[in-house]
A and B are shown apart, each in its own frame.
Chain A
Amino acid sequence: MSEPATGISRADVVHLAGLARIDLSDAELDHLAAELPAILEHVASVQEAAGDDVPAMSHPVPVDNVFREDVVTPSLAPEDALAAAPASDQQRFLVPKILGES
C-alpha cells in the first residue's frame, strides 16, 4: 500500500471489513473511507506530542508483573458453559462448517 501513513483507501476499508467479518454496504464503505483517515490524522497529532524518547504505552497505568498463583479455581458446570451457545451437541459447542466457505 503506497498511501501516506495516515491515508486509507476505500480498498483498505473493504479489506479490513473482510478480515473482521463485517458485512458493509456501499454507503457504509463510502462513509468509513472518508471517516477513518480523519481518525488516523487525529491519532497522528497525538503521536507528534510525544518525542522519540517516549516509549509507546499499551496501558494507561505503568504496572508490570501482575500474576496469579497456579491454583485451581472452580470451572463452570458444562450445562452453564453451553447455556448461551446457539447450538450444542455431545456437550460440545456446535459450530458451522469451517472449511469451504471462501
Chain B
Amino acid sequence: MTVETLVPFEEALTRYDPVMGLEIHIELNTATKMFCGCPTEFGAEPNTQVCPVCLALPGALPVVNAKAVESAIRMGLALNCEIAEWCRFARKNYFYPDMPKNFQTSQYDEPIAFDGWVDVEVDGETFRIEIERAHMEEDTGKALHVGGSTGRIHGADFSLVDYNRAGIPLIEIVTRTIEVPPEKAPAVARAYVSYVRDLIGGLGVSDVRMDQGSLRADVNLSLKPKGSTTLGTRSETKNVNSFRSVERAVRYEISRHAGILDAGGKVVQETRHFQEDTGTTLSGREKSDADDYRYFPEPDLAPVSPSREWVKELRATLPEPPAVRRARLQSDWGFSDLDMRDTIGAGALDLIVETVEAGTTPQAAKKWWLGEMARRSNESGQDIHALGITPQQVAEIQALIDAGRINDKLARSVFDGVIAGEGTAEEVVVARKLEVVSDDGALGAAVDRAIEGDPDAAAKIRAGNLGVAGALIGAVMKEMRGQADAGRVRELILEKLS
C-alpha cells in the first residue's frame, strides 16, 4: 500500500473545486424479495431465506413483486421525478460470488423514475440536488471473508456467502453532479443523505437504517483545478455507514485527491472503502475491463408500464412534503429557526416527533435529543438513531422527572442504565437507587450543614439577598450526590434563614 500524502481540506480548496455525485441504495421493506416469495427478515440464520429463484437454480423464473414497483413509484414521486410510461429490467453482468446468477437484475437506460430534485438545507441556505434517476434492482448476498488478518476482503483466503439478502428489492437513487461552494461540499453531502433518509422513511417503504444497511451511500468525488471546466478522475467510496461518515468521506477524498494532483500524479478510477475507525478510505478495486457490464434487457421479466391512473393514485398517498411538514412542526412546537436547524442537523426530527407523541413536551424532547443524545452520538460516532434509546424510553424518563422522582442530572444516569440494557427507566431508577430525596429529615440535616459551612452566604440570605441561595443549594446537592429535590432544598434554606 502506498503512503498517501494528504493536503489539509482548507488548503486543498484554495486550488481545487470538488465535484460530487451521490448514490443511495435503499432496501425496501416489502415482505418478500424482488422476484420471488422468499421473506426479507433482517438477521435470519444464513441461507434460510433462499429459493431456486434467488439462488439462480436452473429453470427458475423470476416474477416482479407488485409492492416493490409501487414503492419505487412512490419514492420516485417523492423525489419529484418523472415516472416512466414503460420501462424494462436489464441484466448487469459481472462475476462476483455475492450474486449467484452472475448478473444482477437491475435497470439500465430505462429507469422507473428520472429527472427529479430535492432541496436540502445547510446552515440556513438551500441547495437544490438534481436527481438523475431512481431505478429498481435487487440486493446482493453477504460475504464473510475468512483468513488474512482483518476479516476484510483484502488478504482473505476464502469467503462464506449467505444469500438471504440476495434478491431483496433495492432502489438506487443517483444524483447528477453536485457543485456547491467547495467548503460546503461535505455538509451538503451529509444533508442530502439525511434528507433522503427522512423523506423515504416518511413514505414507510423502507426501514432506512444506515447501521443495518437498509440505506447505503456511495460517494463519488473528483477535483478540478480552480478555473478549469474539465472534470477530474473520480473515486467511488463505499461502506459509508453513517451521516457523519458521509461528511468525513468527502473531506478525506478531497484531501487525498489534492495530494495526488499536487504531486503531479493521476487519480486512479477505483472503488474505495471508507474506514470508520480512522476516517480514511482504502483502495478496493480498480476500474478495469471487468466493468464492462454488457447490460441487456432481461428476457425473463415482462416490461413495467405503470398506468397514469395508478401513478396518480400513488401520488395521492404521499405524505406532506418535508418542507411543509417541518413548517407545521416548527409552529406546533414553538421552535425557533435555530432550534429547527439544529434538529434537522442532528437528524432528530422524527425522534422528537415520536417523543412528543409519547407524551413529552416539545421543549423537553428537544432538550434530550439535541443535548444529551446529540452529545453521545458525537462522542461515540454512532448515529443518533442507533444509540440504544427509543423516543418512548426518553418519554418515560421525562415522565419520572415531571413526577419529581428524578431530576435532569439523575436522568443522565438513568439513560446510561437503559442504554446498557439494565431494564426500563423505572427499573434502572430502583436498581441504581437514583430517586431524589425529598424527605425533610435527610434534607434538613444537609441544609444545616451547608449553612454552617458557608456563614457568609447564610448572612447575605438573611439580609434578603436570595440570589445567593444557589451556592447553598449547590453544596447540598453535592453532599447528596445530586439526589436532593432542589426545589424543596431551596424552600428549606429560605425557611431556616428567614
CB within 8 Å of B: which residues of A?
15, 18-19, 21, 58-59, 63-76, 78, 81-82, 84, 89-100, 102
Contact = CB atoms under 8 A, between A and B. Distances in A.
A93 B294 contact: no
A81 to B, nearest CB: 5
A82 B97 CA distance: 14
B46 A64 contact: no
A63 B147 CA distance: 49
B299 A58 contact: yes
A72 B32 CA distance: 6
Interface residues of B, number: 61
A21 B294 CA distance: 14
B285 A70 contact: no
Interface in B290-322: 290, 292, 294, 296-299, 301-306
A41 B55 CA distance: 36
B55 A66 contact: no
A70 to B, nearest CB: 4
B49 A64 contact: no
Interface stretch (B62-70, B129-137, B350-358): B62-70
B197 interface: no
Contacts, number: 139
B11 interface: no
Which DSSP category, helix, strand, loop or mixed, fits chain A's interface? loop
B52 A58 contact: no
Given A68-B66, A75-B49, A75-B51, A90 B305 contact: no
What 10 pairs between A and B have smallest CB-CB spacing?
A73-B37, A58-B297, A70-B67, A92-B160, A67-B66, A66-B302, A95-B97, A64-B305, A93-B161, A68-B63
Contacts of A95: 97, 143, 158-161
A72 B159 CA distance: 29
B31 interface: yes
B47 interface: yes
Contacts of A74: 37, 51
A92 B51 contact: no
Contact of A59 (B47, B160, B302): B302
Residue in A18, A67, A74, A100 with the greatest tally of chain B CB atoms within 10 Å: A67
B46 A94 contact: no
A31 B180 CA distance: 54
A75 B31 contact: no
B50 interface: yes
Contact of B298 (A58, A63, A70): A58
Interface stretch (B149-157, B401-409, B451-459): B149-157
B297 A73 contact: no
Contacts of A67: 63-66, 69
